[in-house]
Amino acid sequence: MHLFFLSLAGGLLVLDTTAVLQILISQPLVSCTILGWMANDTAFGLHFGLLMQLLWVSQLPVGAARVAAGNLGSITGVLIALQLKPLFPEYQNFLILAGLLSALIISYIGAHLNAALNQFNVTIFNRIFNQIEKGKISAIGRMTAAALAVKLALLTLLIYGFVIIGVYVLQFIKSGELASINTYARYIEMAVIGAGIGLTLNLYKSRKAAAVFIAGIILGILIFLI
């Protein structure tokens, strides 16, 4: 599928984060798998989504708190990795590292973009208010659609732009250097999963939860042994 349509699908998935539905399809585990499937590599999409998911699961979007845009970052990261994969199929660690670093950068930019969009929505809200004062009820529906369209367009362009730039820059890495980076990055998955577990443990601080967590570890070891 063409990268633009993948970016558009990514933008639509990101809308689920806060703007519409909120049925969890924007979470990396789900969205990266969907995009992997659309790009004919479901297994890689799922694997990347699994790695990214733990990093963001403990972030609570409470009130107006500015949190890292993990869903947007993961979607951009997986698309960069998916675009690079046909070029460097044997360098899995490099692909994960490239996707991960892109995801972190975009999640930071995305947090600022969200704040800017929320500020832009003040203008939309003021327009709704003025239109209602003039007796135009349909303005609420039109302005809501406009706010969503602007957000979708910006998200799609951001994803598309960063994937193009990311792939353009990374494809020039020489094969010898790629092999080295791939070797250096061989422990990256362990670090990401470990960091994700460490972050997520903050959600289960009580003594009861800790006991359940330890019981889960034993169960996990048993499952592995079986």
Partner 1 sequence: MKGVFRNIMNKTKKIRKRDLASIYLRSFFMQAVWNFKSLLAAGFCYALIPAAKRLTSSEDGTCAFLKKHLCFFNAHPYFASYAVGAIIRLEEDLQAGIIKDEAQIGRFKNAMIGALGALGDQLFWAAVKPGAILLGLAGAAIFQDLELQIFSILAVLLVYNIPHLYIRTAGLLNGYAEGYAIVKHLKIEKFEKVKNLYLFIGAVMLGIFSGYTGSLYLSQENMPIFVFGLSIIIMLLIRRLKINWYLSVSIPICLALVLGLL
What span, in angstroms and rounded, lies between the C-alpha atoms of 222 and 24? 30
From candidates 132, 153, 165, 169, binder to partner 1 by CB under 8 A: 132
Using CB under 8 A, count the residues that bind partner 1.
Answer: 88
* 135 contributes a contact to partner 1 by CB under 8 A: yes
As measured in angstroms, the least distance from the Cβ of 22 to partner 1 is: 6
As measured in angstroms, the least distance from the Cβ of 3 to partner 1 is: 24
What span, in angstroms and rounded, lies between the C-alpha atoms of 36 and 28? 11
Amino acid letter, 152: L
* 198 contributes a contact to partner 1 by CB under 8 A: yes
From candidates 2, 23, 172, 176, binder to partner 1 by CB under 8 A: 23
Nearest to 73 by CA among 12, 14, 18: 14
From candidates 86, 174, 207, 218, binder to partner 1 by CB under 8 A: 218
Q: Please check whether residue 95 is in contact with residue 84, taking contact to mean a CB–CB distance below 8 angstroms.
A: yes
Amino acid letter, 124: I
As measured in angstroms, the least distance from the Cβ of 85 to partner 1 is: 17
Residue among 142 and 168 whose Cβ is closer to partner 1: 142
Residue among 138 and 174 whose Cβ is closer to partner 1: 138
* 89 contributes a contact to partner 1 by CB under 8 A: no
Q: How many CA atoms lie within 13 A of 62 on its CB side?
A: 3
Residue among 5 and 136 whose Cβ is closer to partner 1: 136
Residues 149-178 touching partner 1, rule: CB under 8 A, are none
What span, in angstroms and rounded, lies between the C-alpha atoms of 96 and 51? 9
* 207 contributes a contact to partner 1 by CB under 8 A: no
Question: Is the Cα dihedral 22, 166, 78, 100 positive or negative?
Answer: negative
What span, in angstroms and rounded, lies between the C-alpha atoms of 48 and 31? 10
Nearest to 56 by CA among 165, 173, 196: 196
Residues 103-122 touching partner 1, rule: CB under 8 A, are 104, 108, 118-122
Residue with tokens 């790695």, as numbered in its chain: 51
As measured in angstroms, the least distance from the Cβ of 118 to partner 1 is: 5
From candidates 1, 5, 22, 153, binder to partner 1 by CB under 8 A: 22
Query: Which residue stretch of 60-68, 80-88, 154-162, 164-172 sits at the interface with partner 1 (rule: CB under 8 A)?
Result: 60-68
What span, in angstroms and rounded, lies between the C-alpha atoms of 97 and 99? 5
From candidates 43, 87, 153, 169, binder to partner 1 by CB under 8 A: 43
Which two three-digit tokens encode residue 138? Answer: 């349909």
